[in-house]
Structure 1
Amino acid sequence: MDVLINVFVALHIVGIASLLGGFLTQVKAMGDGTARFTPPMLHGALTMLITGVALVGLNQADGQTVDNIKIGVKLAVLIVVLALVYVKRDEERVDKGMFIAVGALTTVNIFIATLWT
């Protein structure tokens, strides 16, 4: 079970990298007012959602305790990010504030995962 959990953790990190990497590649474009949500950002957010839910289930099935409040907060933040990226995915330009919100919420989610004990 540990190997399976570690595979899903790795896939979860790949999703985070895709979402945050997509954001960081658009930072210069954000200054020009031409930033947009790229397909890797959407796919990264979806990967995070699917692997995160799987990780909760696998950890509970393995008998490990899961902090449901922490998972709920992370899920809420991710759903907001996913909704913003999904709704604006086809637009040529995204509002600077909305674009910054996605990057900030993704970073907040990373800090929640690593610092909330």
Structure 2
Amino acid sequence: MDVLIHAVVGLHIIGIAALLGGFMTQMKAMGKGEARMVPAMLHGALTMLVTGVALVGLNQAEDHTVNTFKIGVKLALLIMILGLVYVKRDEEKVDAASFGVVGAATAANVFIAVLWV
């Protein structure tokens, strides 16, 4: 079961990389007011959601302690990110504020995962 959990963690990290990488590629365009939500951001957020839920289930099945408050905060941030990316995905240009919120919330989600024990 540990191998499966580690594999899902790897997929979760790939989702984070896709979301954050999509954001980073558009930062220069954000400065010009021409940023857009690229498909990698949507797919990364969806991957994070699916693998995050799977990780909670797998860890509970192994009787590991799960900090449900931390998971709730991370889930709330991810749903906000996913909602913004999904709603704005077809727009040719996204305002810098909405785009910045996605990047900041993604970074916050990473730091919550790493620093909150």
Alignment TM class, shorter chain as reference: over 0.9
Amino acid at match of 1:87: V
Give 3-state SS (helix, strand or coil) of 1:36's partner.
coil
- Which residue in the other structure is 1:107 paired with? 107
Kindly report structure 1 stretches of 4+ aligned residues shifted beyond 6 Å.
Answer: none
Q: How far apart are the structure 1 equivalents of 2:32 and 2:26?
A: 10
Give the distance between the partners of 2:116 and 2:50, measured in 1 at CA.
21
SS in 2 for 1:93: coil
1:32 to partner: Cα distance: 1.1
Scaled by the length of structure 2, what TM-score is found? Answer: 0.99
**Displacement, 1:45?**
0.1
Distance 2:110 2:2 in 1: 22
- Runs of 5+ unmatched residues, structure 2: none
TM-score by length of 1: 0.99
* CA–CA separation in structure 2 for the residues paired with 1:15 and 1:41: 9
- Could you say what the CA RMSD is over the residues aligned between the two structures, in angstroms? 0.3
Q: Who is 1:42 aligned against?
A: 42
- Note the residue ranges of structure 1 that are not aligned, 5 or more in a row: none
Deviation at 1:2, TM superposition (A): 0.1
Residues 41-77 of structure 1 deviation map (CA, whole Å, 9 limit, x = unaligned): 0000000000000000000001101000000000000
